Amino acid sequence: MVSRGIEPDVVNAAVKAGFDDMVDCALRAEALKAVSCRPEFEPLSIAFKRVMNILKGFEGGAVDKGLFDAIEEGALYDSYISVKAELGPLLRRDGGDRMPTAGDYEKALILMLSLKPEIDRFFDNVMVMAEDQQVRRNRLALLWHIARLFLKVGDLSAIAVAG
């Protein structure tokens, strides 16, 4: 895809998110290339790498809103739920001929970029690795769900950025 002007790290980001359909993977790579030029992409990519490092070895789990003890947890969760709902139509394969387009993936990524302020506030104000194991697990679960959302398009941690 380098001949299409897509750098190998961007292709790798699309491949790492799934490679069961070559055309779909190419569409995701095109969208990642387009969005990676936006100024908010680099800091989000750096934050995503941090999330992926924190999540190493974490198998996932449900988020329990009752365990939130910081305003930033609830704000991030609410933003995640809102973005996830809006992403549905963009990323859905309806079982028929409808497949997401590069434009759908680009819109999805731009929508996901809107999570950046809440992610920043979360990391600035919340200790993810809390002493209380339930709270820690819940915070990791929240980050895990957000990472899974991004991974529907690409693994941002695979894209080289200056920072």
Which residues span the domain enclosing 139?
A: 43-153
In a domain, residue 6? The reply is no
**Tally of domains within the chain:** 1
In a domain, residue 2? The reply is no
pLDDT for 163 equals 53
pLDDT for 97 equals 62
pLDDT band at 12 (very low <50, low <70, confident <90, very high): very high
Top pLDDT among 21 and 70 is at 70
Average pLDDT (21-38) is: 90
141: pLDDT strictly greater than 50: yes
In a domain, residue 11? The reply is no
CA angle 133–136–139, rounded 5-degree value = 150
3: pLDDT strictly greater than 50: no
In a domain, residue 144? The reply is yes
Query: What pTM was estimated for this model as a whole?
Result: 0.89
